[in-house]
Structure 1
Amino acid sequence: MFKKKPALVILDRDGVINEDSDAYVKSKDEWQPIVGSIEAIKLLKKHHIPVAIATNQSGIARGLFDLFALHEMHQKLYTLLGQDADAIWHIAFCPHVPEDECMCRKPKVGLLEEISQKLKIPFNKKVYFVGDSFRDIEVAYNAGCIPVLVKSGKGLKTLTTHQEALKEVPVFDNLYQFVESIL
């Protein structure tokens, strides 16, 4: 399906890498990987494709968890990746609620700009953004990335409610299926 090897794959976190929750993922115990997601990230590393994560984490501003708990969740991801933990080149997160009107909360591009600057990878048609929500698709377009929707997490709901707007967006069952398509 895709003809060019990506320069970078950016992933949303909740609903793409780990199971999502309407009550927020608040601890490392609640943070559970989606089947195949860890293997998908390892496969990207094996093929020398860098991975970054861009995630809205408004649970911090809402007082549902703190930065330490967020760090523990990310540490769990690194632990599950084991010797492939260096597959994740950067994690950018927004701790704000929508009412803060910050520049980092997706669909605004602050998180993606942070990733581009930190990794020194300009966004072009070789950078993919994989998400499960419409704001993930919007931020990909806003930053000049190729948007990809997965049906995991809130992806099926997103597909149903934004069907017309997603006509041109590649859709996959999950992260692993997307990764297989680019290799």
Structure 2
Amino acid sequence: MQKLVILDRDGVINEDSDAYIKSLDEWHPYPTAIEAIATLTRAGWQVAIATNQSGIGRGYYSRDTLEAIHARLHTMVRQAGGEIAHIAYCPHLPQEACDCRKPKPGLLFQIQQALALPTLAGGWMVGDSLRDIEAGIAAGTQTALVNTGKGERYASDVARDHPETWRCDDLADFVRHLLKVA
């Protein structure tokens, strides 16, 4: 079993915005998310992030801004005693039909390659949208939907189409459930 948890970023780790997270000042992690990542790390799980960031393609922010946000995230997680093994992001617009924009599984396969994993089976994809869940299923992971971010908006679709997907209040709730069964 792969001890890997792949997280969506916006809506799972930090507050989401329909207007996009365009600057470091707009990036606000959920109070329990950073500690939840550290808890996973301490329990022997690798944690990675797969995030659609079409705001780059739309010209709302630069790759440098995204890297600054991710540097802050890395620092906060390390300070809590955790580690993020890899962050994969898709900068493309939906109409570009790339292979990496979720619900396609390309970002998850990028993580698999970066971490030199033979498979993603047994790993987890945790997200707040149907496209996160569909990407996880396409890549062969188990899936969990959190109620934070846009999670409640997609709950009935996920329950109908993917009843095996866990429903969790937030990332910390997912981690509690996972560590009970793992």
TM-score of the pair, normalised by structure 2: 0.93
Q: CA deviation at 1:124?
A: 4.2
Contiguous gaps of at least 5 residues in structure 2: none
Give me the whole-angstrom Cα distance separating, in 1, the residues matched to 2:51 and 2:78: 22
1:95 paired residue among 91, 104, 112: 91
Q: CA deviation at 1:79?
A: 2.1
2:111 paired residue among 106, 111, 115: 115
Does residue 106 (structure 1) correspond to residue 102 (structure 2)? The answer is yes
Q: 1:32 maps to which residue?
A: 28
Deviations 1:34-60 (A, max 9, x none): 121000001011111100000000000
Q: RMSD of the alignment, in Å?
A: 1.5
Tell me the SS of whatever aligns to 2:125. strand
Contiguous gaps of at least 5 residues in structure 1: none
Go from structure 1 to structure 2 and tell me whether the alpha carbon gap of 1:67 and 1:85 turns closer, same or farther (over 3 Å shift). Answer: farther
2:52 paired residue among 52, 56, 61: 56
Give me the whole-angstrom Cα distance separating, in 2, the residues matched to 1:115 and 1:51: 10
Give me the whole-angstrom Cα distance separating, in 2, the residues matched to 1:145 and 1:135: 14
1:19 paired residue among 15, 19, 29: 15
Q: CA deviation at 1:122?
A: 3.0
Tell me the SS of whatever aligns to 1:164. helix
Answer whether contact 1:78 1:85 (CA < 8 A) is retained: no
Answer whether contact 1:132 1:151 (CA < 8 A) is retained: yes
More helix by share: 2
TM-score of the pair, normalised by structure 1: 0.92
Q: 1:175 maps to which residue?
A: 171
Q: State, as a whole percentage, how many aligned pairs show the same letter.
A: 49
Report runs of 4+ in structure 1 exceeding 6 Å deviation.
none
1:154 paired residue among 129, 147, 150: 150
